[in-house]
Amino acid sequence: MTRREDIRNIAIIAHVDHGKTTLVDQLLKQSGIFRDNEVVAERAMDSNDIERERGITILAKNTAIDYKDTRINILDTPGHADFGGEVERIMKMVDGVILVVDAYEGTMPQTRFVLKKALEQNLKPLVVVNKVDKPAARPAEVVDEVLELFIELDANDDQLEFPVAYASAVNGTASDNPDSQDENMQSIYEMILEHVPAPIENRDEPLQFQVALLDYNDYVGRIGIGRVFRGTMRVGEQVSLIKIDGTVKNFRVTKIFGFFGLKRVEIDEAVAGDLIAVSGMEDINVGETITPIDHQEALPVLGIDEPTLQMTFGVNTSPFAGREGKYVTGSKISERLFAQLETDVSLRVDPTAQPDAWTVSGRGELHLSILIENMRREGYELQVSKPEVIVREIDGVKSEPFERVQIDVPDEYTGSIIESLGTRKGEMVDMVTSSNGQTRLIFIVPARGLIGYRTEFMSMTRGYGIINHTFEEYRPLLKGRIGGRRNGVLVSLDKGAASQYAILQLEDRGENFMEPGTEVYEGMIVGQNSRDNDLTVNITKVKAANNIRSATKEQTTTMKKPRIMTLEEALEYINDDELVEVTPESVRLRKRILDKSMRERATKKEKYKLETE
């Protein structure tokens, strides 16, 4: 079997924030593909604003470098489990993976998740222990942890013989020795050439190209990104697209793009082993195969992870609707949601019984909150409901998603963590105490028990805890309510500006969410009650003016700092009878029913219904 020695296809996989994108940056810079005067941004592969701000990769990106007459195609993959569908499909496009592991943190939940996907595809793994320049780095122990993880995931003998490089991606150095660093990343390039198998040379056989990722461009429409597994594809030729349902459509290849550095380069033909982007077919989808018209042989369809969480997106109905957004109508929101489906294959959008509301289903809170964040930055105004898990019927049994949760905390917090996850129906499967006063806890928890847990976790551990979770499996549905907020909320009685006087009066009732002067409306949530019931309050009340001098006039009153929530915190915080109003300028929490008397009537009805069931 002959192989194309002039090319290698690899994916870089890791847990969030272990340094994948920074490593790719350095491999790009040191390969000499940029001109000396070319300005290259940090984390150049993370092109989206949110990716840059949060330091996470959301969309898989491909790039290519040349080293010693060999083209190395590199795919930088998302590390977060919400975007795991992308990781799974990318594994089909490559022949090897570089697993990046933090030299201090070691193996984490998403390390396990992404490595499992790679081993299932029988890919050759290479390990890079990154951040060895950290003072607390423990590279030798981390390599042992990685080996244990490989054994646990049933790696074969060849996969267990993985080569290891030690790197400091931020400094652009690497070596095969944990105690010293070379001046560059030469050892990683060499490791790729030596250990990643070259693609099979079969360009003379009939064409097979499979779409693994989608892109969209206003000029050429939908673009299918994937690998040529067999044969040759040329611009201008007529080909067949075998759809997922088995139907066949013929089309002409209008453009083929290769990848080099951060650019897409138009090419005339691509051969077996190449990673390319193809345009010309407007309804091309992930998993579909392009073949010659006279030799239609489809590749196995790629699996797409099903959504596990859903929310209702609707037109903003608050009294402040239309004040801050550019796109506020149902047709605009609908258009934007359906445009998202062009490139995001793990997303579902379904109409509801209400004309201006849609059920949007995704892979997790992060997946959906990033879509909302992108929409508000583009000028959309909308309201969204509390996220809820998608219950499925499996073999006639109602089932819900469960997550594997890994927690690293100082020892003194373990008791409260175990107790808090116990109330959320979490089951502890492992507990490891290390000599440095840290404990690692592993739980299997129903996904609905984790909605809203992060905020509670952070305050419980005073910010010292680290929590990560990844989808485990569907299990039979547990009875009863799990998790949720324990406290009631403070709800505004009327419309106006929040006054400092009223805020100070309410401080003993609970926690304030408002800065003085903030515009509020009836039914808007302005704080958290210290008790478990909701309380309607007058936050716009001002002190009555009179001629009597107060005995305490000279005393200055200090107001507690209000709690201002981010979009994610707001989504985690709300209950079923509440909504988050999202505009380009504001994130507001509100009751579904704004009128106080109507809300109280609805609460009584709900209570009666629960008592009679």
Q: Which domains does the chain have, with CATH numbers?
A: 7-195 (3.40.50.300), 208-292 (2.40.30.10), 393-476 (3.30.70.240)
Asked whether the beta carbons of 384 and 311 are under 8 A apart, the reply is: yes
Question: What's the average model confidence in pLDDT over 388-411?
Answer: 89
Question: What's the average model confidence in pLDDT over 455-462?
Answer: 80
Known binder of ligand: residue 360? Answer: no
CA distance 518 to 320: 13
Q: What does the pLDDT read at residue 552?
A: 53
Is the pLDDT at 580 greater than 70, yes or no?
yes
Asked whether the beta carbons of 8 and 43 are under 8 A apart, the reply is: no
Is the pLDDT at 70 greater than 90, yes or no?
no
Question: What's the average model confidence in pLDDT over 463-472?
Answer: 79
Is the pLDDT at 84 greater than 60, yes or no?
no
pLDDT by residue (tens digit) across 326-352? 999 999 999 999 888 877 777 899 999
SS3 89: helix
Q: Which residues contact 51 (CB under 8 A, 6 or more apart)?
A: 43, 57, 58, 59
In which residue are the tokens 């030469």 written? 186
Q: Specify the DSSP element, H or E, that contains 447.
A: helix 447-450
Question: What's the average model confidence in pLDDT over 228-253?
Answer: 89
Is the pLDDT at 514 greater than 50, yes or no?
yes
Question: What's the average model confidence in pLDDT over 384-393?
Answer: 90
Known binder of ligand: residue 17? Answer: yes
Q: Which two tokens stand for residue 132?
A: 């060895």
Alpha helices per DSSP H over 203-345: 330-340
Q: How far apart are the first and last CA of the chain?
A: 69
Is the pLDDT at 36 greater than 50, yes or no?
no
Question: What's the average model confidence in pLDDT over 39-50?
Answer: 41
Q: Which two tokens stand for residue 147?
A: 């080996």
Known binder of ligand: residue 18? Answer: yes
Asked whether the beta carbons of 295 and 362 are under 8 A apart, the reply is: no
Q: Kindly report which listed range (23-27, 362-366, 463-467, 550-554) carries the lowest average pLDDT score.
A: 550-554
Q: What does the pLDDT read at residue 592?
A: 92
CA distance 54 to 349: 26
Helix, strand, coil % over all residues of the chain, rounded to 5: 25, 35, 45
> Measured between alpha carbons, how far is residue 362 from residues 67, 140, 189, 366 in Å?
39, 38, 37, 9
Nearest 5°: the CA angle 478, 388, 390 is 65
SS3 358: strand
Known binder of ligand: residue 314? Answer: no
Phi, psi (rounded to 5 degrees) for 198: -75, 150
Q: Between these two residues, 178 and 325, which has the higher pLDDT value?
A: 325
Q: What does the pLDDT read at residue 578?
A: 92
pTM above 0.85, yes or no: no
Is the pLDDT at 381 greater than 90, yes or no?
yes
Is the pLDDT at 431 greater than 60, yes or no?
yes
Q: Between these two residues, 286 and 538, which has the higher pLDDT value?
A: 538
Is the pLDDT at 378 greater than 80, yes or no?
yes
Q: Which residues pair with 349 in a beta bridge?
A: 360
Letter for the amino acid at 46?
A: D
Widest CA span in the chain: 99
Is the pLDDT at 524 greater than 90, yes or no?
yes
Q: Kindly report which listed range (21-35, 209-223, 579-593) carries the lowest average pLDDT score.
A: 21-35
Is the pLDDT at 233 greater than 80, yes or no?
yes
Q: Specify the DSSP element, H or E, that contains 569.
A: helix 567-573
Q: What does the pLDDT read at residue 63?
A: 80
Alpha helices per DSSP H over 304-423: 330-340, 365-377, 414-423
Q: What does the pLDDT read at residue 57?
A: 36
Is the pLDDT at 112 greater than 70, yes or no?
yes
Q: Kindly report which listed range (72-76, 518-522, 550-554, 571-575) carries the lowest average pLDDT score.
A: 550-554
What value does the mean pLDDT of the chain take?
A: 83
Is the pLDDT at 248 greater than 50, yes or no?
yes
Letter for the amino acid at 407?
A: I
Known binder of ligand: residue 97? Answer: no
Is the pLDDT at 554 greater than 50, yes or no?
no
Q: Which residues of 17-43 are buried (b: 16+ CB within 10 A; e: fewer)?
A: bbbbbbbbbbbbbbbebeeeeeeeeeb
Polymer length of the chain: 613
Q: Which two tokens stand for residue 242?
A: 């075998």
Phi, psi (rounded to 5 degrees) for 470: -145, 150
